[in-house]
């Protein structure tokens, strides 16, 4: 199977190469047959990479320890479920996984638009094949997952060596999230290749209008949803597995996933400026270029060991390839931009400070500043070594100082932006739209202050969260009231209908609401508490409303590991509410240990208990307990963000209006924005 996989990869490489070559010739000669052949070659890459991936999976599931990659990342007793995670647990496999997901995206795009946009698609095909070629080069020649373990026999010929068992999977990765988090994050990373390819192709082809934006909206949103889910799943994994009580540490790997998300978010918003007002064309093109480059940079950062975190130890030969690729992409993008920049001239200018346009501009500015801050903080050791000659790193205080106010300002814009009119907003409509929410928000702040919420940032965060929530609810309510007046249905089903009629707009609100929940959860971190204690049998640890009593501790052998666990009774107000079993697992295959945190999660707070080991002298268990308020809201908000994105991807049901001709829109009851979006309701699918 390793040979089969190797050949499939090699053939995929050849096909990608052909897709580029034939594609370029086809663009020059406009030969329809050649265009078709280049496209089909691009489609074939997908099948071949799939075949290669299937054969690597086969090697894992058949415990083929003559394969170097399998031997290094799996062992016989590893549960099948985690053999899936083992696929992408190492460099070679994760790069193959990159190629696999990318090829699925490329296949979908090439296939979906096979008979459309004949002016644009050949260019798109070439750009996509170019990106694929880079990763296939790595798969084939730099980090091949199909290397076999061999040794020279006495006769000089190479022979297979088959190990009795593999080295096993890193214990930290033996957790359910590691099976779903990487595919999500990778789908995000790879997915941004599609809007990138369309933007570059449109620029190269001087494709008229905003067509590429309509075409890529869906794809960008899919990538964005995956990226969001991937980041949050990763945070949840860090929270549940690493046992330090937090979910985000501003580690370079985390930052690497956040940066393209920030620019991607900026892009999703600023394209609306181009769609509706023909503005910010240059900006959009560069935003999508940067997003793609940040995806590649993220992969590079975590691979090359250029940034000192724990990576300082891990040097790998793959770094220069990524630097080279980034330089090539940057050069091509700059060249394409310089050659065709007249094509990106803006149609309109900013009319007023208080307008939808300016709220988008600020949104973009602030997201970009956040991205630059995260980037410079991540690269600080590299930059300072260049400039000052000494390596200096910055820690979480740096990132928090900058990003907390940015986050709050964004939250403010989330509430304000969607309700501002295009071009210019009148004072009258400001009062009408924001009077209620503002009163509610300030009331909430006044209520929370005496209850003990005195810190500046959490207080501001609460006020803004209430403000945004009320504006969103009012939007739904206003729209639903109009529908109810027409159809007589109750307000909730009217709100449902409303959403389905303009999924893009109301799906967007749902996403915003999800973000509000995430902010509430993040705010909880300001009130985290923790306590560590050596616990004798029967002793108690008090934290917040909870009392933990150590009942016993034991050692329990499992198939793949031995678990040492503490058995803790949890009391709240002198009532027993549950038992918690924090563990330390010791994995025989690789002689490593891992922590299994026990979490009692409620909407109000998480009780997070770590079994930190035993003291050396007396062998008493050490328990570290954390009380983290509101963490659950983050995961809840994440789910709603993804749900909202899916909603916004659904086509709007405009037909309902046609079915009820009597139900004409009553202009007086509709806010100016509704008219605006109603008029220019691009759905971006065609």
Partner 1 sequence: MKTKAKFTVGVAIIVVSLVALAVLGARDSKTYYHTIAELPTLQGTALHQRIRVGGTVQSGSIERAQGRIDFTLLGEGKSLKVSYVGTDPLPDTFKDDSQALVEGHTTPNGRFVAEKVQAKCASKYEATPGQSAPKGSDYSNKKS
Q: Is the dihedral of CA 429, 430, 435, 441 positive or negative?
A: positive
CB of 624 to partner 1, least distance (A): 6
Residues 6+ positions from 510 with CB-CB distance below 8 Å: 499, 640, 643, 644, 647, 648
Of 230 and 684, nearer to partner 1 (C-beta) is 230
The whole-angstrom distance between residue 269's C-alpha and the CA centroid of its chain comes to 17
Residues 6+ positions from 366 with CB-CB distance below 8 Å: 406, 409, 410, 413
Of 613 and 678, nearer to partner 1 (C-beta) is 613
Please give the span between the terminal C-alpha atoms of the chain, in angstroms, as a whole number: 42
Of 245 and 508, nearer to partner 1 (C-beta) is 245
- Helix H or strand E segment including 90: none
Report d(CA 217, CA 221) in Å as an integer: 6
Backbone angles phi, psi at 153, to 5 degrees: -80, 170
Of 28 and 401, nearer to partner 1 (C-beta) is 401
CB of 108 to partner 1, least distance (A): 22
Of 88 and 192, nearer to partner 1 (C-beta) is 88
Of 245 and 637, nearer to partner 1 (C-beta) is 245
CB of 76 to partner 1, least distance (A): 17
The helix/strand/coil state of 75 is coil
Residues 6+ positions from 679 with CB-CB distance below 8 Å: none
CB of 288 to partner 1, least distance (A): 21
Instruction: Residue 602: count other Cβ atoms within 10 Å of its Cβ.
Output: 11
CB of 348 to partner 1, least distance (A): 12
CB of 91 to partner 1, least distance (A): 6
**DSSP-derived secondary structure for 216-229:** HHHHHHHHHHHHHH
Burial letters 407-436, b for 16+ CB under 10 A, else e: bbbbbbbbbbbbbbbbeebeeebbeebbee
CB of 431 to partner 1, least distance (A): 21
Of 8 and 366, nearer to partner 1 (C-beta) is 366
Of 89 and 673, nearer to partner 1 (C-beta) is 89
CB of 305 to partner 1, least distance (A): 7
Report d(CA 174, CA 590) in Å as an integer: 13
In this structure, what token pair is assigned to residue 636?
A: 């809840």
In this structure, what token pair is assigned to residue 499?
A: 């959403």
CB of 591 to partner 1, least distance (A): 8
Token pair 């899916």 is found at 646
Q: Residue 166 in contact with residue 71, Cβ under 8 Å?
A: yes
Residues 6+ positions from 389 with CB-CB distance below 8 Å: none
Of 238 and 444, nearer to partner 1 (C-beta) is 238
Residues 6+ positions from 550 with CB-CB distance below 8 Å: 535, 536, 537, 538, 539, 540, 566, 567, 568, 621, 623
Cα pseudo-dihedral 633, 634, 635, 640, rounded to 10: 80
In this structure, what token pair is assigned to residue 486?
A: 């027409």
Question: What SS3 string covers 486-525?
Answer: HHCCCHHHHHHHHHHHCHHHHHHHHHHHHHHHHHHHHHHH
Of 574 and 591, nearer to partner 1 (C-beta) is 591
Of 60 and 476, nearer to partner 1 (C-beta) is 60
The 8-class DSSP code of residue 37 comes to H
Residue ranges in 62-176 assigned as alpha helix (H): 68-73, 80-87, 91-112, 121-137
Report d(CA 565, CA 554) in Å as an integer: 6
Of 563 and 648, nearer to partner 1 (C-beta) is 563
Of 41 and 190, nearer to partner 1 (C-beta) is 190
CB of 392 to partner 1, least distance (A): 5
Q: Residue 319 in contact with residue 304, Cβ under 8 Å?
A: yes
In this structure, what token pair is assigned to residue 497?
A: 């209908």
CB of 242 to partner 1, least distance (A): 5
In this structure, what token pair is assigned to residue 277?
A: 């007002």
CB of 367 to partner 1, least distance (A): 12
Of 136 and 466, nearer to partner 1 (C-beta) is 136
Report d(CA 103, CA 199) in Å as an integer: 19
CB of 20 to partner 1, least distance (A): 25
Closest CA to 297 of 256, 252, 250: 256
CB of 142 to partner 1, least distance (A): 13
CB of 26 to partner 1, least distance (A): 34
CB of 172 to partner 1, least distance (A): 4
Of 174 and 497, nearer to partner 1 (C-beta) is 174
Of 40 and 308, nearer to partner 1 (C-beta) is 308
CB of 593 to partner 1, least distance (A): 5
Q: Residue 292 in contact with residue 192, Cβ under 8 Å?
A: yes
Of 193 and 309, nearer to partner 1 (C-beta) is 309
Burial class (CB in 10 A: 0-12, 13-18, 19+), 127: buried
In this structure, what token pair is assigned to residue 423?
A: 């071009």
In this structure, what token pair is assigned to residue 635?
A: 């995961």
């Amino acid at each position: 199977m390793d040979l089969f996989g190797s050949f499939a990869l090699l053939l995929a490489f050849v096909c990608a190469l052909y897709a580029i070559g034939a594609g370029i010739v086809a663009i020059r000669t406009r030969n329809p047959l050649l265009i078709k052949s280049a496209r089909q070659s691009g489609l074939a890459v997908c099948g071949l990479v799939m075949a290669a991936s299937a054969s690597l999976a086969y090697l894992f599931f058949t415990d083929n320890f003559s394969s170097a990659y399998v031997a290094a990342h799996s062992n016989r007793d590893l549960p099948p479920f985690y053999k899936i995670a083992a696929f992408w647990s190492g460099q070679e496999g994760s790069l193959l996984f990159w190629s696999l997901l990318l090829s699925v995206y490329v296949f979908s795009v090439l296939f979906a638009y096979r008979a459309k946009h004949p002016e644009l698609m050949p260019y798109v095909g070439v750009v996509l094949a170019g990106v694929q070629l880079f990763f296939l080069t790595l798969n084939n020649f730099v980090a091949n997952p199909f290397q076999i373990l061999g040794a020279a026999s006495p006769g000089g010929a190479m022979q297979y060596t088959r190990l009795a068992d593999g080295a096993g999977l890193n214990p930290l990765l033996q957790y359910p999230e590691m099976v779903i988090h990487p595919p999500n994050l990778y789908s995000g990373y790879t997915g941004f290749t599609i809007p990138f390819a369309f933007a570059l192709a449109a620029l190269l082809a001087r494709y008229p209008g905003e067509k590429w934006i309509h075409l890529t909206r869906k794809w960008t949103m899919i990538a964005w949803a995956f990226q969001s889910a991937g980041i949050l799943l990763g945070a949840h994994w860090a929270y549940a597995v690493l046992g330090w009580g937090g979910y985000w540490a501003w580690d370079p790997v985390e930052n690497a996933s956040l940066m393209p998300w920030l620019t991607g978010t900026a892009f999703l918003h600023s394209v609306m400026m181009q769609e509706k007002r023909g503005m910010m064309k240059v900006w959009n093109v560069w935003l999508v270029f940067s997003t793609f480059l940040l995806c590649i940079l993220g992969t590079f950062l975590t691979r090359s060991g250029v940034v000192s975190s724990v990576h300082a130890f891990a040097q790998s030969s793959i770094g220069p390839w990524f630097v080279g690729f980034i330089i090539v992409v940057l050069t091509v993008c700059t060249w394409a931009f310089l050659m065709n920049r007249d094509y990106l001239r803006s149609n309109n200018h900013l009319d007023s400070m208080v307008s939808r346009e300016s709220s988008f501009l600020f949104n973009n500015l602030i997201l970009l500043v956040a991205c630059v801050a995260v980037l410079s903080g991540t690269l600080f050791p590299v930059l300072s070594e260049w400039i000052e000659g000494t390596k200096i790193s910055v820690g979480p205080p740096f990132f928090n100082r900058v990003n907390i106010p940015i986050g709050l300002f964004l939250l403010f814009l989330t509430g304000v932006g969607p309700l501002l009119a295009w071009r210019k907003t009148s004072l009258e409509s400001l009062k009408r739209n924001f009077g209620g929410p503002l009163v509610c928000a300030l009331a909430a702040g006044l209520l929370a202050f005496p209850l003990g919420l005195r810190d500046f940032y959490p207080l501001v965060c609460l006020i803004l969260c209430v403000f945004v929530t009320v504006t969103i609810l009012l939007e739904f309510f206003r729209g639903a009231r109009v529908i109810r007046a027409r159809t007589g249905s109750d307000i909730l089903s009217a709100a449902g209908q409303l959403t389905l009629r303009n999924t893009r707009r109301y799906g967007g609100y749902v996403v915003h609401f999800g973000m509000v929940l995430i902010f509430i959860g993040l705010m909880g971190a300001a009130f985290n508490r923790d306590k560590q204690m050596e616990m004798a049998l029967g002793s108690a640890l008090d934290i917040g409303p909870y009392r933990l009593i150590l009942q016993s501790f034991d050692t329990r052998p499992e198939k793949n590991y031995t678990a040492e666990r503490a058995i803790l009774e949890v009391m709240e107000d002198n009532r027993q509410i549950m038992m918690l079993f924090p563990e330390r697992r010791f994995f025989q295959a690789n002689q490593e240990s891992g922590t299994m945190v026990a979490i009692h999660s409620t909407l109000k707070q998480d009780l997070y208990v770590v079994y930190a080991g035993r003291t050396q002298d007396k062998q008493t268990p050490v328990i570290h307990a954390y009380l983290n308020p509101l963490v659950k809201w983050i995961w809840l908000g994440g789910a709603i963000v993804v749900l909202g994105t899916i909603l916004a991807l659904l086509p709007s049901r405009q037909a309902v209006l046609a079915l009820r001709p009597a139900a004409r829109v009553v202009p007086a009851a509709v806010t100016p924005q509704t008219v605006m979006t109603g008029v220019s309701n691009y759905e971006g699918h065609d």
